[in-house]
Amino acid sequence: MLARSSQLERRSLLVFAGCLLAISGCAQIRLPAIDPTGQSIFLPSPYSTTLETPCAGLPKPSCLEPAWEAPPLPPPCVEPGPALPVFEPLQVAPPIVATPAPPRTKHPHLDKLKHKHDQLGHITLTPTKVIAPVGGEVILTAGLCDPSGLLVTREPVRWIMTNDSVGHFVEVGDDERSHLLFASSNDSKLLSGSFAEGRTSAKRHVITRGTPSELDDLTLLAGQAWASVTSPVEGISYVTVIAPEATIWSERRQTATVHWIDAQWSFPQPSVVQAGSTAELTTVVTRTSGEAPPPNYLVRYEIAGDSPARFPGGQTAVDVPVDGSGRATIALVSPPGVPGVSQVKMQIVRADVNGTRLTITEGWTSVTWSAPALDVAIAGPSVGSVGAAIVYRVTVSNPGDIPVTDIAAAVDLPAGISYISSSPTAQLFGNRVEWRLGELAGGGRLELQMNVRPEAAQNYRLTARALGAGGLQAESFVDTQVFEPSLDVQMQGPEQAVVGDRITYRVLVKNTGQFPLTNVVLHDRFDEGLQHSEGQPSPIDRSLGSLQPGEERPVAVTFIVRRPGRWCHVLDVQANGQSKSVQACVTVSEPAAPTARIQVRKTGPGEARVGDTVKFVVDVVNTGEATVRNLRI
C-alpha cells in the first residue's frame, strides 16, 4: 500500500513538474530532491533537483504575443498545372507543361490568430485529366486556398472514388510528424479502396518513387495533400477531393478523371519512296500482353503542311479503325515526277460506347518522294564587240536524288554568230551545238564551255536546252548586246636601251564608240629582262573604271633594264566584252668598254725678245673613262 501510495505521489510529482514546465516555458526548474531510501517523498532542505528542459534557451511562451514571427508573404495562390505522371511514358514523350508558380502558404497558427472567422476559399486539384497505363500509379495533389490567396496548411481533405470507377487508392499522403509531441498528429487514413482522409502538409517536402533518378520526384508544397490511385483493368477512375471545412460548397470540391488503358503501339518509321508510287503507313496497336486491342481503337492520319501527296480520294485527313490484328493501314499517293516530303501526324484514339473520343497519344512520320530532275543554265557576258570571241558556259544538273539517263544538251546559235570551239567537244548540226552526256547521278552537275564570234553589231539571244529519259527537259537563255569595236589602245616607248637604263612606256586608252565602256582593266605581261620600277611581278593588273564616249585615259609604265637582249611586254585591255592587245619590245645592249682620251693644251706668249725668259704651260687632260698609264710628254 505504501509502495502504491509512493507511486501515486511520484506520478503526482511528474504531473506537477509537467504543469510547472508548461507554465514556466523552457526555463530551468528547481524541485525538492526525492528521498532515495523511500522513507519519505522528498529530502529535507537544502537538497534539490534542477530540471534542464530540451528547449532551454528558447524564448518563453506568452499569451500577449504570437509564438513566432509572421513569415514573409510568398507569391499569390494560383491554380497548379498538371503534375507529372507516376508511370514511365509508353511510346511518346509527354507534353512539356510549364511549372506553375508555387502558391503562398498560410501557417495554421497565424490562420487561427488572424483569420479565424474567415471563410475558406476554393480547393485546387492537379491533374484533372490524365491517361495512364493499366497497372501504373497516378499521384493527385490538392490544396485549399483562403480568400486572401494563400494555401492553408493542415486542413482536412477527403478523397472519394465513385462507385462506377475502376481502380482503387494505393496511398494517401500524411503530414510528417513534428519533433514536438504536442504538435504531432497523423490524420491521414486510407479507410478503404475508394475512400481516404488526409490533411494538407505543414511544410514543403519531396515524394520520391524509389528510383535513383530525381527526375521522377514530386515536390509537395506546404499546404498541399496527395493521394495515389491505380487500376488493374481498363476503364475510368473518377476521384473527387473535398475540403469539409470550406464554407463555400460550390468551391470546396474538385474531380479528377483518370483514363486507364491497356495498349502499346508503334508508329510507321520515316521512309523514302519513288514519286508516283504508293507509300503504306501502318500503325500497330496491341494490348501489353500482345493481344489485339478492342475494336473501339482507331488511328487518325493527317497530312501537315504543303505536301505533294494525298490519301485516297484526295483527302488530307482520314480515320482508320484498328483491325483484328491490331493494324491500321493507310495508303499515301504522290503524283509522278514530283519530289518532296510529306509530314504525317498520327493520333491513336479510343471511342467509348457513347461515341466519346479519347486521344491516347500522337506521333509523326515522314515520306520522302524521290524523283529524277533536270536543270540547265547558260551564262555569258551581257555585252561584246564585233569580231571578238565570246565564251559561254552551260551547266546541266540533276537536283533530284535518282539518276537521269540519256541526257542531251544543245545551244541554238542565232544568225550572225559563228561557232569556234567547245569543251568537251560538241557536234555541230547547222546552227545547233549539241552534246551527248549520257547519265547524270542525283545531285550531279556537268560544266560545258563554248566559244563563238559575233559578226555583226546587234542583240543576240542564245538558248540552251537539256533533255533526259522519261520526258525530262529544261531550258535557259542569255542575251548579249554586241557593239562595233570602240576600244582603242596606243603605246609608245624606246626601242633601244643599255643595261641599267630606266625606260617608260606611255599608254593611251580611248573609247571611240557611242556607248560607255565599263570595267576597263589593263593586264601587262613583261619578259624577265625587264623589272617593274616599283618591284611588282609580272603580270601587272590595273583598273581604269569606266570610259565615256570619246574619253581617253593616259597611263604609263616604267621598267628597269637588267639584262642585255630583246625584251617585250604585252598590254591587254578589256572592257564590256571587248579586248585589245598591244606589244612593245626593246633591244638592250651592254654598256661600251671604257677608253682613255688624252687632250693636250699648251699656252704661252706669242712673242718674246731675245734674252727674255718665257713661260709655257702644257695641260694634259684624260677625258676618257679608262686610266692612262706610262704617259710620257
Per residue in 589-598, pLDDT (tens digit) is 988 777 778 8
The Cα 20–Cα 60 span in angstroms is 13
Q: What is the largest CA-CA distance in the chain?
A: 193
Any idea which residue has 516555458 for its cell? 25
Strands 104-106 and 150-152 come out as: parallel
Q: Are 422 and 474 in contact (CB under 8 A)?
A: no
Q: The dihedral of CA 282, 285, 289, 295: what is its sign?
A: negative
Q: For residue 63, give the C-alpha cell.
A: 499569451
Q: The dihedral of CA 90, 92, 93, 95: what is its sign?
A: negative
Q: Are 311 and 332 in contact (CB under 8 A)?
A: yes
Q: Supply the pLDDT for residue 69.
A: 44
Q: How many CB atoms lie within 10 A of CB 456?
A: 12
The Cα 174–Cα 186 span in angstroms is 6
Q: Are 147 and 121 in contact (CB under 8 A)?
A: yes
Secondary structure percentages of the chain, helix, strand, coil, to 5: 5, 50, 45
Query: For residue 10, which phi and psi values (nearest 5 degrees)?
Result: -65, -40
Q: For residue 560, give the C-alpha cell.
A: 628597269
Any idea which residue has 488493374 for its cell? 232
Q: Are 514 and 484 in contact (CB under 8 A)?
A: no
Q: Supply the pLDDT for residue 46.
A: 52
Q: Are 527 and 569 in contact (CB under 8 A)?
A: yes
Q: Supply the pLDDT for residue 615.
A: 87
Which H or E element spans position 298? strand 297-304
Q: How many CB atoms lie within 10 A of CB 196?
A: 27
Q: Supply the pLDDT for residue 179.
A: 41
pTM here is 0.50
Q: How many CB atoms lie within 10 A of CB 515?
A: 14
User: In a 3-state reduction of DSSP, which class is residue 451?
Assistant: strand
CA 298, 304, 308, 310: dihedral to nearest 10 degrees?
20
Q: Supply the pLDDT for residue 294.
A: 74
Q: Are 103 and 151 in contact (CB under 8 A)?
A: yes
The Cα 419–Cα 396 span in angstroms is 20
User: In a 3-state reduction of DSSP, which class is residue 294?
Assistant: coil
Residues 6 or more apart whose CB falls under 8 angstroms from that of 594 comprise: 624, 625, 626
Q: Supply the pLDDT for residue 578.
A: 78
Cα-based distances in Å from 171 to 140, 152, 159, 195, 228 = 11, 22, 11, 11, 5
Q: Supply the pLDDT for residue 278.
A: 92
Q: How many CB atoms lie within 10 A of CB 37?
A: 7
Strands 297-304 and 340-351 come out as: antiparallel
C-alpha radius of gyration, the chain, whole number = 53
In the chain, which residues have pLDDT < 50?
A: 1-29, 51-76, 78-118, 177-185
Q: Point out which residues pair with 474 in neighbouring strands.
A: 466
Question: What is the layout of strands, in order, in the sheet containing 517-526?
Answer: 496-498, 578-589, 565-575, 517-526, 540-547
